[in-house]
Amino acid sequence: MALRLTVQVLLVLQALLREPGRELYGLEVSEETGLLPGTAYPILLRLEHEGWVTSRWEDVDPRAEKRPARRYYRLTAGGAAEASAAVASARRPRGAALRGLAREAGTA
């Protein structure tokens, strides 16, 4: 099944693309995108199932760190290429559509 490129998925991809080689833990992705963790984590899981992202658990003692272990996510080489293409080709609303929305909202 092909990955649906929703606005939320695009936000996660953009966060991961800022520094493609850098690992981000799930809550960082949530904070960078403004998405709730309950939205960001399932997206990361779908991206991993599609092969766009890999993940790993950090090797820490939760008692010593006084926090749970973090799961880190990073784009794969193929995932970075797919994500870049997806973000670049994401449909942008046209000016007419935006003006229509503004009229509906009563702000035009």
Higher pLDDT, 106 or 8: 8
pLDDT value of residue 77:
95
Contact 87/13 with Cβ under 8 angstroms?
Answer: yes
pLDDT value of residue 44:
97
What does residue 8 show for φ and ψ, rounded to 5 degrees? -65, -40
pTM exceeds cut of 0.75:
yes
CATH number reported for the structural domain that contains residue 55 in this entry: 1.10.10.10
Tokens linked to 49: 């199932």
Q: Classify residue 58: in a domain, yes or no.
A: yes
Q: Classify residue 2: in a domain, yes or no.
A: no
Higher pLDDT, 65 or 101: 65
Number of domains the chain contains: 1
Mean per-residue pLDDT of the chain? 89
